[in-house]
Amino acid sequence: MRALRTGSKELIKEINRFKVLNIIRHQQPVSRSEIAKQCDLGVSTLSYIIEELKTQRLIYEVGEATSTGGRKAKLLRFNKDHGYIISVKIEEEQILTALTNMEGEILCKRYALFSKKDSPENVTDMIESEIHQIFTQEKKDLSFLLGIGILSSGLVNRHDGTIIRSSMLGWENVPITRMVKESFPEVQVFVDNNINGYTLAELEKGEGKSSQNFLVVSIGAGVGLSVVIDRKIYYGSVGGAGEFGHTTLVPNGYPCHCGQNGCLEMYASEFYFKNKAEDQVSSYSSSKLTDFHFSEVARAAEEGNEFAMNLMKEMGSYLGYGLRNLINTFNPDKIIIVGEGVKYSHLFNHEVNLIANDNFFEKVDIKTELVFSGLNDDAWFTGGALLAINQIFQEPIYEPIKAGL
């Protein structure tokens, strides 16, 4: 439990400035009196705070509201170009880098390839070089870079900023934020697991806007889970989320790359296709399926290939069991399904709903919404940027921690 900061004049000043700033950020354009009402601050105090924020160029005044019977209110807006954020996604053999403004709007994107042989140091150097190129290309001064958010697969400890283990990258205990910070000592650097990043995007720009407690489940080359409680992402002991993909669905089932057997990931993701085919060689061989990527199996299923259609449906049923267990365990308002699988959801949607909706809370008349994400691939960039932005504008109630070091 993080310790609360001790009360002092500075604390109340900081709290109030951030409260005001966040109201402007999320409800712009707003008038002074509207903010004062919501904050329960005196209008005089508010004017003083606004003055300060304006001289810091964090906000600006623009236009006027229509009169409600008296003097028109001047409207305030957040200056989203007050600074810039770099969002980095580390994929299997490339890094994707984007420049965003302080609202997480993407201004420019780049990518750079690397090979499995490259060390974390090499990749960090590439990140540095990409950032420099973006800033020269966009003709912006590096002093405006306020934060860097990095998304990676695998087990990530966001508190100390290390990638604990990523089997995809073959990395272990890489202190990524510290390494990046060496090149940008003035900038706050954050890492997180990529699905948590996506979840941040859902929270601010997607399905999460209307929900306090929800889960994000990713279906693709594996199964991922991100848990949102009270609009905050839950981080387990080591700082990463859990490994829901490796809960046991079928005792003594298909062997998993993690060393266990019968993991959900082996049944409710791309892996299932290959597992099942190796299990039923005869029906497989007559099916003319050539590979087991989501896209291929989906194409075959759409063309009426019986074996592929069944693969999809069975995968959907297993996913349904996974989701049902999540619902019964977490009692979320909503589950958002994301990832490559969403593109092909029409092929297994029915089975998922059939099983997942048959849950404990349904029987007590508490509904759990099941939706597919409506965001596109830019959500990764948005999420990475939000990782930094949310920290920068966080209300400063707690003692500073060493995160984002």
Partner DNA sequence: ACTTACTTTTTTCACTGAACGAATTAAGTA
Partner DNA sequence: TACTTAATTCGTTCAGTGAAAAAAGTAAGT
- Contacting positions for a copy of itself (CB under 8 A): 1-2, 4, 6-9, 11-16, 19, 39-41, 155, 164-165, 212-213, 225, 229-232, 234, 236-238, 240-244, 246-248, 251, 258-260, 321, 324-325, 328-333, 358-361, 363-364, 366, 395, 397
Kindly tell me which residue out of 1, 2, 6, 230 binds DNA, with binding defined by CB under 7 A: 6
Whole-angstrom Cα distance, residue 171 to residue 165? 6
Residue 14 or 243 having the CB closest to DNA: 14
Kindly tell me which residue out of 3, 69, 303, 400 binds DNA, with binding defined by CB under 7 A: 69
Cα Rg of the chain, angstroms:
24
Other CB atoms within 10 Å distance of the CB of residue 314: 17
Q: Which does 44 bind (CB under 5 to 8 A by kind): DNA, a copy of itself, none?
A: DNA
Whole-angstrom Cα distance, residue 279 to residue 131? 48
Residue 83 or 332 having the CB closest to a copy of itself: 332
Following DSSP, what letter does each residue of 118-151 receive, concatenated? --HHHHHHHHHHHHHHHHHHTT--GGGEEEEEEE
Q: What minimum distance in Å lies between the beta carbon of 286 and a copy of itself? A: 28
Residue 108 or 397 having the CB closest to a copy of itself: 397
* Three-state secondary structure of 275-292: HHHHHCHHHHHCCCCCCC
Q: Which does 331 bind (CB under 5 to 8 A by kind): DNA, a copy of itself, none?
A: a copy of itself
Whole-angstrom Cα distance, residue 88 to residue 207? 23
Instruction: Give all strands (DSSP E) within 183-321, no chain letters.
Output: 188-193, 214-220, 222-229, 232-233
Quick check: 369 and 357 in contact, CB under 8 A?
no
Which residues ranging from 24 to 43 are in contact with DNA (CB under 7 A)?
Answer: 31-33, 40-43
Diameter over CA atoms, the chain:
81
Regarding 12 and contact with DNA (CB under 7 A), the answer is yes
Q: Which does 50 bind (CB under 5 to 8 A by kind): a copy of itself, DNA, none?
A: DNA
SS3 content of the chain, % helix, strand, coil (to 5): 45, 25, 35
Q: Which does 247 bind (CB under 5 to 8 A by kind): DNA, a copy of itself, none?
A: a copy of itself
Distance in angstroms between the alpha carbons of the first and the last residue of the chain: 19
Q: Which two tokens stand for residue 115?
A: 């090979």
Q: What minimum distance in Å lies between the beta carbon of 81 and DNA? A: 23
Q: Which does 165 bind (CB under 5 to 8 A by kind): DNA, a copy of itself, none?
A: a copy of itself
Q: What minimum distance in Å lies between the beta carbon of 25 and a copy of itself? A: 15
Quick check: 116 and 126 in contact, CB under 8 A?
no
Q: Which does 281 bind (CB under 5 to 8 A by kind): a copy of itself, DNA, none?
A: none
Q: What minimum distance in Å lies between the beta carbon of 2 and DNA? A: 19
Q: Which does 49 bind (CB under 5 to 8 A by kind): DNA, a copy of itself, none?
A: DNA
Residue 132 or 367 having the CB closest to a copy of itself: 367
Q: Give the phi and the psi of residue 31 in degrees, each rounded to 5.
A: -95, 160
Q: Which does 280 bind (CB under 5 to 8 A by kind): a copy of itself, DNA, none?
A: none
Quick check: 179 and 121 in contact, CB under 8 A?
yes
DSSP state, residue 153:
S
Which residues ranging from 38 to 67 are in contact with DNA (CB under 7 A)?
Answer: 40-45, 47-51, 64-65, 67
Other CB atoms within 10 Å distance of the CB of residue 272: 23
Regarding 68 and contact with DNA (CB under 7 A), the answer is yes
Q: What minimum distance in Å lies between the beta carbon of 3 and DNA? A: 15
Q: Which does 73 bind (CB under 5 to 8 A by kind): a copy of itself, DNA, none?
A: DNA
Stretch that binds DNA, among 72-80, 217-225, 265-273, 359-367 (CB under 7 A): 72-80
Residue 71 or 116 having the CB closest to DNA: 71
CB-based burial, 1-16: b 16+ in 10 Å, e otherwise:
eeeeeeeeeeeeeeeb
Which residues in this chain contact DNA in the complex, by CB under 7 A?
6-10, 12-13, 15-16, 31-33, 40-45, 47-51, 64-65, 67-74
